[in-house]
């Protein structure tokens, strides 16, 4: 299914494009968390970073690393969050791979998700289960 990002890539929908190469386009998020919030998007459709071709993903992340300090300089941010939401449960709304670059300012008030301690036995069990998954072939 087509998303709004394909329309932006084809210039059918306007966006504030800040960078483009053969593989990747980057434009301002329409509802920025902070000023300068940018989305880095591969031009070829894939659903998210879990399913994108790995070489293409490397290109996306090279552009993220190139752009992040430049965006920070442009808006005079002191930090940056780099995020890829994967799946509806994780807040992915647009099912086309993208990375958020969110400039952060000291005292801007945004908080990270709170962590909470889990019982040691649960931690040991889940670590063992994950190690088991890691050993599975062809996942
Ligand atoms: P997600 O929640 O899928 O990780 O993030 C999708 C992002 O795309 C959201 O932050 C949303 O504001 C942005 N977005 C949705 N529609 C448009 C649009 O038409 N133009 C632009 N520039 N950004 C959009």
Q: Which residues are catalytic?
A: 98
Residues 103, 106, 109, CA angle at the centre, nearest 5°? 85
> Hey, which of 3, 14, 29 would you mutate to test ligand 1's pocket, going by the most ligand atoms within 8 Å of its Cβ?
29
Q: What would the DSSP string read from start to end of 13-76?
A: S---EEEE-SSEEEEE-SS-SSTT-EEEEESS--SSTTTS-HHHHHHHHHHHHHHHHHHHHHHT
Contacts of 137 (CB under 8 A, 6+ apart): none
Q: Ligand 1: does its nearest atom lie under 6 Å from the Cβ of 91? A: yes
On whether the CB atoms of residues 64 and 19 are closer than 8 A, the answer is no
Total residue count of the chain as it appears in this document: 139
Predicted confidence pLDDT, tens digits, the chain (139 residues): 899 999 999 999 999 999 999 999 999 999 999 999 999 999 999 999 999 999 999 999 999 999 999 999 999 999 999 999 999 999 999 999 999 999 999 999 999 999 999 999 999 999 999 999 999 976 6
7 C-alpha to center of ligand 1: Å? 12
Q: Ligand 1: does its nearest atom lie under 6 Å from the Cβ of 86? A: no
137 C-alpha to center of ligand 1: Å? 35
Between the two ends of the chain, the Cα-to-Cα distance in Å is: 25
Residue at token pair 């808006």 = 75
Residue 16 CA, closest ligand 1 atom number: 22
């Amino acid at each position: 299914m087509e998303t709004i990002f394909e329309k932006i890539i084809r210039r059918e929908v306007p966006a504030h494009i800040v960078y483009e190469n053969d593989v990747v386009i980057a434009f301002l998020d329409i509802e920025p968390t902070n000023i300068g919030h940018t989305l880095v998007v591969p031009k070829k459709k894939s659903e998210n970073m879990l399913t994108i071709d790995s070489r293409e993903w490397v290109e996306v992340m090279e552009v993220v690393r190139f752009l992040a300090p430049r965006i920070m300089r442009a808006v005079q941010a002191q930090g940056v969050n780099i995020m890829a939401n994967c799946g509806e449960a994780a807040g992915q709304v647009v099912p086309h791979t993208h990375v958020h670059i969110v400039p952060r300012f000291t005292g801007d008030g945004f908080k990270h998700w709170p962590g909470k301690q889990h019982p040691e036995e649960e931690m040991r069990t889940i670590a063992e289960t994950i190690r088991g998954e890691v050993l599975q072939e062809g996942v």
